[in-house]
Structure 1
Amino acid sequence: MAMKAPRGTVDILPEETAKWQYVENKIKEICDAYYYHEIRTPIFEHTEVFQRGVGDSTDIVQKEMYTFEDRGGRSITLRPEGTAAVARSFVENKLFGSPDLPEKLYYFGSMFRYERPQKGRMRQLNQFGVEAMGSEDPAVDAEVIDLAMQIYQSLGLSSLKLVINSLGDKESRQAHRDALVAHFDPHREELCADCQARLDNNPLRVLDCKKDRDHPAMKTAPSILDYLNEKSQTYFEQVKTYLDAMEISYVVDPNLVRGLDYYNHTAFEIMSEADGFGAITTLAGGGRYDGLINEFGGPNTPGIGFGMGLERLLMALKVEGVEIPVDTGLDCYVAGFGSEQVRLETVKLVHKLRSAGIQVDTDYQYRKMKGQLKAADRLGAKFVFFLGDDEVEQQIVTVKNMNTGNQKEIPINDVTNQFKALLEEI
């Protein structure tokens, strides 16, 4: 049987990883400008981290987690999302004690969800996320949204749509919950099995159902915006005021609820409106989670964050025709031919150039000169160094500019300085 990658996973080959690295570096530059710092959490956690953090009633916990028992009999889960793990770390490492809250963090990491693989949605997905923990200022909500939008715009995406909503505080959510149950209960038997269970456990999630979204009761469902108390309404208006001040366009959608239990107040999604992107348009999503830290035994600490799939980001760039400026060409290729002494000098020269920070490769297939030149051309080498018996005897190297065809002899004892000057000229 031929060995293949498991369903829902893909290999990211070298010609693609350069694009990933460019995108990741651009994101890191933006995070640095916003003064967010990287955190790295384990790829697996105790299952309880996600049961308590994400919520027992969510599809992630009920259907999608990769959970197993380790050799010590402990229930372990490959992380399906990033926020719960960061919250656990925030509490365990007592980051809440910092005098300079909010603690502003970002992460890159693989997430694992057992769901039907689709275009841009895999079982092992790569995610970038941001968490700002320790402030209930609505300006932080606006900052987090601004950071997400800045990433997409700086990379060249233009067909973007920001959708926001308020889920209110605990009091507002309870009032809305009661209204939803009263509204949907007469239609309970008409809803899918998942929504029937959600009505008892988390009725807000009924609004997020893909199966029942065309049910007539969905169109007349009570809006959370009609149940916001004065505090929640004021908070939401402040968030919108800050977004307006930054000239960030948005659409308010009262049906935007997100899929995780820990959200309250601000919720948002960024979508692609580009033609050909596909039916699933969401690029990033997040919101406020003021009670999450308390779930992990920490003090009452507000927080807000988002997650964005890097596969979907790269897919959006491709759909919009954004070229990622990746230079895959080689600085130089050392072509050695002749005696065993030439081979020794070739190895020494390659080491010397690499130690000086110059990108270089050479032949390891014992090819003749013609074959080595073809290899240099395939690798996109800017220059080729020719090293033969005569060059070794004279302690020089012949350098050819592969674009102009010009050749120059350089003393081996000054090769790094003179070659760096040649690189600066192109």
Structure 2
Amino acid sequence: MVEKLNAVKGMNDIAPPVSAHWEWLEERLRVLMRRYGYRNLRTPIVEPTALFVRGLGEVTDIVEKEMYSFEDRLNGEQLTLRPENTAGVVRAAVEHSMLYDGGKRLYYMGPMFRHERPQRGRYRQFHQFGAEALGFAGPDVDAELIVMACDLWAELGLEGIELEINSLGQPEERQAHRKALIAYLEAHADQLDDDARRRLHSNPLRILDTKNPSMQAMVNGAPRLMDHLGMESLDHFNRLRALLDAQGIGYRINPRLVRGMDYYNLSVFEFVTTQLGSQGTVCAGGRYDGLFEQVGGKAAPAVGWALGMERILELLKEQGRLTEPWVVDVYAVVPTLAALPVAMKLLRQLRHLGVNATMHAGGVDGVGSMKSQFKKADSSGARFALVFGEQELGLGMVAVKALRVVQEGEQSQRLFPLDQAHEWAQSLRGA
């Protein structure tokens, strides 16, 4: 017997009916992007490894431990399955000179890859949706992106998502804070865990994001980056706050909020929830004005966010916001082989009129019993069964039987003329 092959651990199939929920969410995201004037960009899943080493930082967890990297056997090129897509978006913008005629608002959607321990809402192949505004320097675009995310939560009916914001300032300000932070942490070296000791001189900002309870009090007393910000950085942050206040958007300033990639500066933000256990961040982003130069382009301002599709779907499920979408409007029940040509012709016409229709099929020696066909019609999720009975066809009609809840005043079964489908097809369409 041939050995059974399974999917790679942490890389999951998304099959019906669950895939319908993904399509539902994806469509709402696309509609939101159109409303805000963001256009779709599709980048390769595989990128040069150097793109992430430069963009994310050599000492980040992603680059050090989580990337799926390999050597192309044909030409020896070092390649990586993308662990995130902001760097790829900027690489594409530089390569194709996208900003030659002004700023661009872009969005992307697709799988990312990180070698992590699979857990709820966190997988080795996961899916992100991101919005990126390239070429815009002011805090107005930072605010626009945050407002857009808030509009998404309202559109999806999600509750209990809180906004945290912070400013990382500019590189020279972070450098001054870094020196003060290292000095403080060295003075409290006896309280650092192994991970913090490893990060002490390579990436001390990440120590502030520790989840170790025994380090919380010490970390709370650490020097704050906000205290090292210059007037321009503070002005950018305060103008962002004023714009959010004007929109009535609540937020909490979290001085310990940092991002896992080195390319961020000035505004950073996260949308968090307490309803997904340890995976509380559902959307995160910020400004990354230095990334264009890091990937070999001319300096350009940029800001964006990304959300985890799996986490949003988990949260929708947790809050009871996921309803089973209607996949099929009608299911054709065909009692005899002689009725097949008529059924197929009508179904094709209905599809052209916007009705989602499927037909009982697969019988080698016949079409199957009426009982079995109705059973499959019901399990298909269809709202109606179209019955091509011999008697109905003799009258030039088709019987339409409701398979779901019948509204008050409606009939459970009706007859419609075969040659007037354009007049009654709309009544079969779902919302």
**TM-score if structure 2 supplies the norm length?**
0.91
Summarize the Cα distance change of 1:234–1:406 in structure 2 as closer, same or farther, 3 Å threshold. closer
Equivalent pairs counted in the alignment come to 419
Q: CA RMSD in A?
A: 2.2
Partner SS, residue 111 of structure 2: strand
Aligned position for 1:151: 152
Aligned position for 1:411: 417
1:57-83, CA deviations, whole angstroms, 9 ceiling, x for partnerless residues?
Answer: 110000000111122211111100110
Q: Any gaps of 5 or more consecutive residues in structure 2?
A: none
Post-superposition offset of 1:35: 1.1
Aligned position for 2:322: 324
Q: Report the Cα distance in structure 1 between the residues aligned to 2:391 and 2:353, rounded to whole angstroms.
A: 25
Q: Does the 8 A contact of 1:22 with 1:326 survive in 2?
A: no
Greater mean alpha carbon deviation, residues 359-368 or residues 221-230? 359-368
338, 341, 351: which one aligns with 2:338: 341
| Percentage identity across paired residues of the two chains | 40
Q: Report the Cα distance in structure 1 between the residues aligned to 2:122 and 2:236, rounded to whole angstroms.
A: 34
Q: Does the 8 A contact of 2:328 with 2:356 survive in 1?
A: yes
Q: Report the Cα distance in structure 2 between the residues aligned to 1:173 and 1:371, rounded to whole angstroms.
A: 69
1:148-186, CA deviations, whole angstroms, 9 ceiling, x for partnerless residues?
Answer: 222122211121211111111122111101111111123
Greater mean alpha carbon deviation, residues 389-398 or residues 12-21? 389-398
Does 1:359 pair with 2:356?
yes
Aligned position for 2:290: 291
Written as runs of structure 1 = structure 2, the 5 A alignment for 1:49-198 is 49-71=51-73, 72-99=75-102, 101=103, 103-188=104-189, 191-198=192-199
Q: Does the 8 A contact of 1:208 with 1:257 survive in 2?
A: yes
For 2:86, the aligned partner's letter is: T
Greater mean alpha carbon deviation, residues 259-268 or residues 358-367? 358-367
Aligned position for 2:26: 24
Summarize the Cα distance change of 1:112–1:424 in structure 2 as closer, same or farther, 3 Å threshold. closer
1:362-384, CA deviations, whole angstroms, 9 ceiling, x for partnerless residues?
Answer: 21143111211222222233332
Summarize the Cα distance change of 1:187–1:250 in structure 2 as closer, same or farther, 3 Å threshold. same
Q: Does the 8 A contact of 1:141 with 1:288 survive in 2?
A: yes
Does 1:203 pair with 2:208?
no
Q: Report the Cα distance in structure 1 between the residues aligned to 2:224 and 2:97, rounded to whole angstroms.
A: 38
4+ residue segments displaced more than 6 Å: none
Does 1:423 pair with 2:425?
no
Greater mean alpha carbon deviation, residues 375-384 or residues 141-150? 375-384
**TM-score if structure 1 supplies the norm length?**
0.92
Q: Report the Cα distance in structure 1 between the residues aligned to 2:371 and 2:341, rounded to whole angstroms.
A: 20
Q: Report the Cα distance in structure 1 between the residues aligned to 2:430 and 2:29, rounded to whole angstroms.
A: 30
For 1:263, the aligned partner's letter is: Y
Partner SS, residue 200 of structure 1: coil
For 1:139, the aligned partner's letter is: D
Q: Does the 8 A contact of 2:355 with 2:429 survive in 1?
A: no
Q: Does the 8 A contact of 2:353 with 2:425 survive in 1?
A: no
Does 1:39 pair with 2:41?
yes
Q: Does the 8 A contact of 2:55 with 2:291 survive in 1?
A: yes
Partner SS, residue 259 of structure 1: coil
Aligned position for 2:278: 279
Greater mean alpha carbon deviation, residues 378-387 or residues 405-414? 405-414
Summarize the Cα distance change of 1:396–1:134 in structure 2 as closer, same or farther, 3 Å threshold. same
Q: Does the 8 A contact of 1:330 with 1:382 survive in 2?
A: yes
Q: Does the 8 A contact of 1:141 with 1:239 survive in 2?
A: yes
For 1:336, the aligned partner's letter is: V
Q: Report the Cα distance in structure 2 between the residues aligned to 1:7 and 1:52, rounded to whole angstroms.
A: 29
Aligned position for 2:265: 264
For 1:412, the aligned partner's letter is: L
Aligned position for 2:311: 312
Q: Does the 8 A contact of 1:192 with 1:212 survive in 2?
A: no
Q: Any gaps of 5 or more consecutive residues in structure 1?
A: none
Summarize the Cα distance change of 1:237–1:375 in structure 2 as closer, same or farther, 3 Å threshold. same
Does 1:225 pair with 2:226?
yes
Post-superposition offset of 1:357: 2.5
Q: Does the 8 A contact of 1:208 with 1:258 survive in 2?
A: no
Q: Report the Cα distance in structure 2 between the residues aligned to 1:104 and 1:213, rounded to whole angstroms.
A: 43
Q: Report the Cα distance in structure 2 between the residues aligned to 1:385 and 1:227, rounded to whole angstroms.
A: 71
Q: Report the Cα distance in structure 2 between the residues aligned to 1:305 and 1:110, rounded to whole angstroms.
A: 18
Summarize the Cα distance change of 1:223–1:337 in structure 2 as closer, same or farther, 3 Å threshold. same
